[in-house]
Structure 1
Amino acid sequence: MVTAFLMDVPVDIDRDTARRAAQEELSDPKYQQARPSVLQQVAQWLGEQLEKLLNGLSSVVPGGIFGLVLILVLLIVLVVVIRLRTGKIARAARADRLVFDGKRQSADDYRRSAAEAAAAGRYDDAVRDRFRALVRALEERALLDARSGRTADEAAAEAGVLLPNVATELRHGARLFDDVHYGGREGTETAYRTLTELDERCRRERPVVMTAS
């Protein structure tokens, strides 16, 4: 088509005439349809810029493109870990681990509830309430300050400082509570009796004297 057009145009033409002829030819719809859309042009430009960026970074990153991809993956993993430890997920998980999730009862009330649950074979409740009795008793003795936002691990760690002779047993008791309370494990008679013995032992233990450094 272009060849036929050029054969029909006089050989001796001025610049304006040639420009008008070219504009008329290029205004043909088939040329407009052949041109890429604006979206395609933008996508192509972005692709070219991304390629330039990757090529530039790969030249300074050890391992080239592979090293760059590895760094990006590590950064993504780091962001996910931070979100899990400090974001909403972490806060929700921590809230589920709290020893007291409502109004406090006395240590004796928790012991009574635990004994009733154990007698009925409801060892999940028995384990939870016996550990709560233990922690509440420590609060009543002023070995722990009474606050609701405390996890089992935190209670065991704080109490273990003042009662070092049972520090290991307190950590084990906290795990028994956590396994039942938020870990989905079934409470057992053995776990209940272990916490009962630990509670009684903590009642007999005397705290160490903390000296100011």
Structure 2
Amino acid sequence: MTLFLSPSLALLGAPVDIGRDQAQQEAARELLKPGYQQEGFFDRIYRIVSQFLGDLVSIGGGGAGSVVSLVVIVVILAILVALLFWAMRRMSRGRRTAAAVFGGQERTAEQHRAEAERLASEGDWTGAVQERLRAIARGLEERAIVSPLPGRTALELAESAGRSLPAHASDLRTAARVFDDVTYGEVAGTPEAYAVLKDLDEKLAAARVVLEVSA
């Protein structure tokens, strides 16, 4: 088997027939040199993977060993592809969570509530959760608790409203996360999630009355 020798060993006239452990140590010392330290991240990953696959093939030798090595290589490549696909979906999902609460259709808070109830009666809990959060957002705008802001996200709404209604700040953030999960996180809406948003909507309506009486 051909063993890796560093240039420094070759210049010193080191014997070619050295042990496997010693060869690995010399290779590690070689990789610590400045030239290797400047190696790019993707180049390093490519080199490590290539070296690993090459070692598998050499260990397999021939016959049944080669078949086993090939199977292992295919499995590893499948895992790498799956991990890459998962990472790309995570990145894409992270970008989508910055989308706005409202769609293109302009509705009042009551219209959003009516639509939410209709969707809930049909068992469309994802749509019901979305419409209830939009009802909350529109209601806060109509009551001048938050200023209308095109393109506002659910979390931005929660932060803005939470400053004016600190007693409900935590519930507002929870509602925003539920909205983002069902809208962009591919999480199915549930009756429990809808009940949380509906309860918050009713609490916020009551909070408005309390604030007006206090004033």
User: Structure 1 stretch 145-154 or stretch 171-180: which is displaced more?
Assistant: 145-154
Q: Is the 8 A contact 1:114 1:130 kept in 2?
A: yes
Q: Which residue of 2 aligns with 1:122?
A: 124
Q: Which residue of 1 aligns with 2:202?
A: 200
User: Take 1:187 and 1:137, find their aligned partners in 2: how far apart are those partners?
Assistant: 22
Is 1:64 aligned to residue 66 of structure 2?
Answer: no
Bigger CA radius of gyration: 1
Q: Is the 8 A contact 1:173 1:195 kept in 2?
A: yes
Mark the runs of 5 or more structure 1 residues left unpaired by the alignment: 1-61, 75-88, 209-213
Q: Which residue of 2 aligns with 1:93?
A: 96
Scaled by the length of structure 2, the TM-score of the pair is 0.55
User: Take 1:201 and 1:128, find their aligned partners in 2: how far apart are those partners?
Assistant: 18
Cα 1:145–1:90, aligned 2, differ >3 Å: closer, same or farther?
farther
State the Cα RMSD in Å.
2.5
Mark the runs of 5 or more structure 2 residues left unpaired by the alignment: 1-31, 43-91
Q: Which residue of 2 aligns with 1:73?
A: 41
User: Take 1:138 and 1:161, find their aligned partners in 2: how far apart are those partners?
Assistant: 12
Q: Which residue of 2 aligns with 1:136?
A: 138
Cα deviation per residue 1:79-126 (whole Å; 9 max; x = unaligned)?
xxxxxxxxxx7996256x310021220000000000011011010110
In structure 2, what residue type is equivalent to 1:64? P
Cα deviation per residue 1:25-77 (whole Å; 9 max; x = unaligned)?
xxxxxxxxxxxxxxxxxxxxxxxxxxxxxxxxxxxxx96123212xx439xxx
User: Take 1:164 and 1:92, find their aligned partners in 2: how far apart are those partners?
Assistant: 28
Scaled by the length of structure 1, the TM-score of the pair is 0.56
Cα 1:190–1:162, aligned 2, differ >3 Å: closer, same or farther?
same
Cα deviation per residue 1:151-208 (whole Å; 9 max; x = unaligned)?
1011011111111001011000001100111111110000000000001111122598
User: Take 1:94 and 1:191, find their aligned partners in 2: how far apart are those partners?
Assistant: 18
User: Take 2:149 and 2:105, find their aligned partners in 1: how far apart are those partners?
Assistant: 11
Tell me the percent identity: 38
Instruction: Name the count of aligned residue pairs.
Output: 130
Cα 1:177–1:160, aligned 2, differ >3 Å: closer, same or farther?
same
